Amino acid sequence: MNDDTAFDLPAAMAESLRGRADARALVEGFAAYWGEPLQPGDGFEDAELDAAERRLGLRLPPALREAYRLFGRREDLTGNHNRLLPPEGLFVLDGALVYQEENQACAHWGVLLADLDQDDPPTVGRPDLADKSAERWEPWEERFSTAAAAMAMVEKLLQDDELSVFAESDTEVPEGMTELPRLGRGCRWFAWPDVLVVEIDEGFVVARARTEEARDAFAEL
């Protein structure tokens, strides 16, 4: 585990909303501090992304290519609950390029085809409904880079291992925690010594510790 205590998570989260470079810095710092540093080979190659463009007959936005090249193969940041689709799995659905799906395909996230010419386009979300005629793409994040950074953090906390603490669906965030800047639709972030907590949609709380000692102390709360 990386022990670089100089990483300022609150500042990095706030700055990530400014654009691609700051969102990338957040992912790099977060991955190193809360897991393992990003390495060459953690992302997809340009040739794989080029092949996806040829197959789909469209251009992938620079922000999407950057995220895929940076950490697209890191399962701990992309695939513990929702799943970042590999380049060969990207597909078009009702006017949007789909890049992420819920683990049981109950929801999808994408970029509208009309916005693919933007460097860092907004994203949209779409639930899987029993009445298919009622399904619509709805606005999600203002920038893809923001969506990618939030995805990396949420998926890491959802990693099921000895450092994770999963709460019941009606559990409240313990008092005394420091609330962090907002990042990710429906997400509220909190910090405790060596513990990071996210509350999703006001109904699901999950935490991840950097050490087993911190996990045990937090679990007692």
Q: What tens digit of pLDDT does each residue of 72-112 get?
A: 999 999 999 999 999 999 999 999 999 999 988 899 999 99
Phi, psi at 41, each rounded to 5°: 100, -10
HSE-up (13 A, CA, CB side) for residue 30: 28
Tally: H helices and E strands in the chain: 7, 11
What pLDDT was estimated at residue 4? Answer: 46
Q: Domains, the chain, ranges and CATH?
A: 9-154 (3.40.1580.10), 161-219 (3.30.310)
Q: Residue 1 above 60 pLDDT?
A: no
Q: What tens digit of pLDDT does each residue of 136-168 get?
A: 999 999 999 999 999 999 999 999 999 988 776
CA nearest neighbour of 173 among 160, 192, 158, 186: 192
Count of beta carbons in the 10 Å neighbourhood of residue 190: 18
